[in-house]
Structure 1
Amino acid sequence: MDRAQFAADQWRKEWPEINDLPMLTLGRLAELSARILQEELEPFFAQHGLHAGEFDVLATLRRSAKPYALTPTQLYEATMVSSGGMTNRIDRLEKAGLVERRKNPNDRRGVMVALTDEGFKKITHVIPLHIKNEERILSKMTIGEIEQLNVLTGKLLASLAD
Structure 2
Amino acid sequence: MAEADEVDRIVGAWRAQRPDLDFSPMEVLSRVDRLSHHLEHARRAAFARTDIEPWEWDVLSALRRAGEPYQLSPKTLLQQTLVSSGTMTNRIDKLVDRGLVRREADPDDGRSVLVILTESGLIRVDAAITRLIDAEADLLHSLSPTERTRLVALLRHLSIGVESV
- Per the shorter chain, which TM-score range? 0.7 to 0.9
72, 80, 92: which one pairs with 2:94?
Answer: 92
Mean Cα deviation higher: 79-88 or 126-135: 79-88
Q: Measure the CA separation in 1 of the matches of 2:11 and 2:101.
A: 46
Shift of residue 83, structure 1, vs aligned partner: 4.0
> Alignment partner of 2:128: what SS?
helix
Partner of 1:28: 31
Partner of 1:17: 20
Aligned residues: 161
Mean Cα deviation higher: 55-64 or 72-81: 72-81
Shift of residue 86, structure 1, vs aligned partner: 3.1
Mean Cα deviation higher: 19-28 or 72-81: 72-81
TM-score computed with the length of structure 1 as normaliser: 0.87
TM-score computed with the length of structure 2 as normaliser: 0.85
Partner of 1:130: 132
Q: Runs of 5+ in structure 2 lacking a partner?
A: none
| AA matched with 1:90 | I
> Alignment partner of 1:97: what SS?
coil
Q: Percent identity?
A: 35
Q: Point out which structure has higher relative CO (alpha carbons under 8 A, 6+ apart).
A: 2
Classify 1:73/1:126 alpha carbon distance in 2 versus 1 (closer, same or farther; 3 Å): same
Q: Measure the CA separation in 1 of the matches of 2:148 and 2:91.
A: 31
Q: How does 1:33-48 map to 2 (within 5 A)?
A: 33-38=36-41, 40-48=42-50
State yes or no: 1:150 paired with 2:149.
no
Larger Rg: 2
| AA matched with 2:80 | A
Shift of residue 119, structure 1, vs aligned partner: 0.8
> Alignment partner of 2:111: what SS?
strand
| AA matched with 1:118 | S
Partner of 2:63: 61
> Alignment partner of 2:79: what SS?
helix
Cα RMSD, aligned residues only: 2.0
